Amino acid sequence: MDDDRCIKKAKLENVQNLKEGEAEILVTHKNVFYNPVQEFNRDLSIAVLSLFAKDQTNVSEQNNISKHTVVNKLNGESCSKSDGITILEALSATGLRSIRYAKEIEGIKEIIANDISAEAVKAIKLNIQHNGVGHLVKPSHEDATMIMYQNRRKGFHAVDLDPYGCPSIFLDAAVQCVTNGGILLVTATDMAVLAGNSPETCYVKYGAIALKTKACHEMALRILLQHIASHAGRYGRYIVPLLSISVDFYIRVFVKVFVSQLKCKDNASKTGLVYQCTGCESFNIQPLNTKKSNKFCKPHVTVDQHCKHCRHKHYIGGPIWIGLLHDQDFVSRLLSSLDNLKLETKQRIKGVLTMIHEEIDSPLYYTSDRLMSIIKCSTPPMVLIRSALLNAGYNVSYSHANKFSIKTDAPNDVIWDIVRAWEKHHPVKREKFNADNPALVILDTPSTINISFTVHPKANPISRQSGLSRFPENPAENWGPGTRAKTMIDVTMIESKKIKNQGKFKQKNKMLKDQRMENKDDNERTNTDLSSSNQDI
């Protein structure tokens, strides 16, 4: 969509400055990282921090400190300080994000724009001066973790981490240097790892096993949240997610951090393992702990060795965060505040936030196309699947991460009842299935409830009825995080990794085949020569 286009195509040598929002940055060095693709990320961060800063100002003016904004004994100050909030952008690059924060967010006392690159710091200083925000934005040339460790006692009200790849190495310092009641903004772009392509790498980076599942994007969010909560818990802190999004090629979470040794113990009951069937891909969540009447209890295993639906074994994934992904009250107020902000990607933000506001509190989701592909049956319209769940008395919603998602609190038995009911109207050829195919067991299992596909009044969500931008297509080819430490001003100048690797395996196989043919020809010539020699003898 035009509103969502972040790419600014211009020849690098002709670019004098780049404008985004109310900020304008100068291009001075080719190795300073700037990613125009992330404008949506920066716009959303401005919206969140604007509301966060306003909340702190209101608390101060009313002199009504809530239970979560008590004086931070560790950091020596409160998050409701009257003269504005302090922000650390630990990985600043050009300083664009910090400059936009300074010019577009009210209620800021100070912003530290830090980067470990000397060239980046030169660019930051130049851009601060060019935008006239030197009274708010201070440049810093330091290792990101060191500046956070050095400010553990003083603390920042907001810490923004937007690294290239995995944020894990910064989290230990980040959870310590944010004030009590402060906010962490964390991005992860290594989605191949978080989506289950390399479980062992995911465990090394995040301490969790990612599964290859259609709900991989939400699972990625929950792995990151669990990882942050784990770091925070070591220092007597706990997190409250305000907003967790998966868009484009990355995930980003906005979490508040509070100090309480007692509430840290709740982390065990907000963390769980995922059991996913190897056959039908049904999943079950196993909490690591449960809490009843303020007492923690060791839970019993909720799954058998074999799946009850198709008799196949399970994969084990996690641990993941099984608590809330969003604070729906915060999301509602954030939606209302958008009208007062000038953001280039406002329409897309509104669409995504509306979908998030519609999401139900139920970990992970199924997708309609994958459910039906298990039994090799045609896929019903989404409105009919949602109607069947609503008619059965269960809640259902989309996930903002997948346009085919079925996020529901219905048990797996009901999910497969719906699949069986649809198959009765659209029979499949069972003789084509192998003997061990999970579809045979699923289809031969009696249904537990009666299924009605009568269209339910709530089957069509408001976000869809309103025609909001829910799942916009990528605004440019080869849309992605780009390359590390490059000034991605002119996308046409950078050979996409996708294009460069196009047909890589095909070329490799062709090369191996040619090599085998060449070796075969050499062997044949050798044998021919030997035969000729023997005949001469």
Beta strand pairing call for 85-89 and 108-115: parallel
**CA diameter of the chain:** 110
Mean pLDDT value of segment 501-529: 73
Q: How far apart, in whole angstroms, are the C-alpha atoms of residue 299 and residue 431?
A: 42
Domain boundary among 401, 434, 461: 461
Is there a single domain that holds both residue 350 and residue 373? no
Instruction: Give residue for tokens 């505040």.
Output: 337
Instruction: Give residue for tokens 């995930």.
Output: 251
User: Could you say which DSSP state residue 209 is in?
Assistant: B
Q: How far apart, in whole angstroms, are the C-alpha atoms of residue 204 and residue 206?
A: 6
Residues in CB range of 338: below 8 A, 6 or more apart: 47, 346, 349, 350, 353
Q: What is the pLDDT of residue 484?
A: 57
Render 32-48 in DSSP notation, one character per residue: S-B-GGGHHHHHHHHHH
371-407: pLDDT as tens digits: 999 999 999 999 999 999 999 999 999 999 999 999 9
Which residues partner with 88 through β-bridges? 112, 159
In a domain, 297, yes or no: no
CATH number of the domain that 258 lies in?
A: 3.40.50.150
In a domain, 325, yes or no: yes
Amino acid at 277: C
Instruction: Give residue for tokens 């809530």.
Output: 66
Element (H, E) at 222: helix 216-233
**Of 13-22, 110-119, 292-301, the least confident:** 13-22
SS (H, E, C) 295-336: EEECCCCCCCCECCCCCCEEEEEEEEECCCCCCHHHHHHHHH
Q: What is the pLDDT of residue 8?
A: 39
Tell me the average pLDDT of the chain.
Answer: 87
Q: What is the pLDDT of residue 6?
A: 40
265-310: pLDDT as tens digits: 999 999 999 999 999 999 999 999 988 877 888 888 889 999 999 9
Residue 366's closest CA among 456, 271, 281?
A: 281
Is there a single domain that holds both residue 324 and residue 406? no
Q: What is the pLDDT of residue 533?
A: 59
Is there a single domain that holds both residue 346 and residue 386? no
Long-range contacts of 17-23 (CB under 8 A, 24+ apart): 17/130, 18/489, 20/96, 20/100, 20/344, 21/46, 21/100, 21/103, 21/104, 21/342, 21/343, 21/344, 22/100, 22/103, 22/104, 22/342, 23/96, 23/99, 23/100, 23/103, 23/127, 23/131
Domain boundaries, position 428: 365-461
Residue 311's pLDDT band (cuts 50, 70, 90): very high
Is there a single domain that holds both residue 232 and residue 339? yes
Is there a single domain that holds both residue 327 and residue 372? no
SS3 27: coil
Domain boundary among 334, 357, 380: 357
**Cβ-based neighbour number of residue 506 at 10 Å:** 9
Residue 65 and residue 167 in contact, taking contact as beta carbons nearer than 8 Å: no
Token pair for 193: 């790892």
In a domain, 432, yes or no: yes
Q: What is the pLDDT of residue 67?
A: 45
Is there a single domain that holds both residue 31 and residue 166? yes
**Of 209-223, 353-367, 486-500, 507-521, the least confident:** 486-500
Token pair for 244: 């967790």
In a domain, 291, yes or no: no
Is there a single domain that holds both residue 404 and residue 324? no
Residue 510's pLDDT band (cuts 50, 70, 90): confident
Q: How far apart, in whole angstroms, are the C-alpha atoms of residue 398 and residue 356?
A: 9
Residue 7 has pLDDT above 50, yes or no: no
In a domain, 308, yes or no: no
Q: What is the pLDDT of residue 114?
A: 98
Beta strand pairing call for 237-247 and 178-188: unpaired
Q: What is the pLDDT of residue 1?
A: 43
Is there a single domain that holds both residue 336 and residue 418? no
426-464: pLDDT as tens digits: 999 998 899 999 999 999 999 999 999 999 999 999 999
Residue 259 and residue 231 in contact, taking contact as beta carbons nearer than 8 Å: no
18-59: pLDDT as tens digits: 899 999 998 765 556 677 778 999 999 999 999 999 998 876
Residues in CB range of 451: below 8 A, 6 or more apart: 388, 391, 392, 417, 418, 420, 421
Q: How far apart, in whole angstroms, are the C-alpha atoms of residue 70 and residue 333?
A: 23
CATH number of the domain that 395 lies in?
A: 3.30.56.70
Q: What is the pLDDT of residue 4?
A: 41
Q: Cα 9 to chain center, whole Å?
A: 27
Is there a single domain that holds both residue 88 and residue 203? yes
With b meaning 16 or more CB within 10 Å and e meaning fewer, what string describes 167-186? bbebbebbbbbbbbbbbbbb
The CA–CA distances, whole Å, from 123 to 29, 109, 456, 487 equal 8, 22, 57, 12
53-67: pLDDT as tens digits: 999 887 666 644 444
Number of domains forming the structure of the chain = 2
**Cβ-based neighbour number of residue 23 at 10 Å:** 24
Instruction: Give residue for tokens 């085919």.
Output: 404
Alpha helix (H) residue ranges in 375-451: 382-391, 412-425, 438-444
In a domain, 475, yes or no: no
Is there a single domain that holds both residue 244 and residue 326? yes
Residue with the bigger pLDDT between 293 and 535: it is: 293
Mean pLDDT value of segment 356-360: 97
Render 486-502 in DSSP notation, one character per residue: -B-S-GGGS--HHHHTT
SS3 372: helix
Residue 536's pLDDT band (cuts 50, 70, 90): low
Is there a single domain that holds both residue 47 and residue 91? yes
Domain boundary among 446, 461, 476: 461
In a domain, 157, yes or no: yes
Q: What is the pLDDT of residue 16?
A: 57
Is there a single domain that holds both residue 130 and residue 93? yes
Residue 277 and residue 246 in contact, taking contact as beta carbons nearer than 8 Å: no
Token pair for 265: 């113990």
Residues in CB range of 498: below 8 A, 6 or more apart: 478, 480
In a domain, 49, yes or no: yes
Q: What is the pLDDT of residue 497?
A: 56
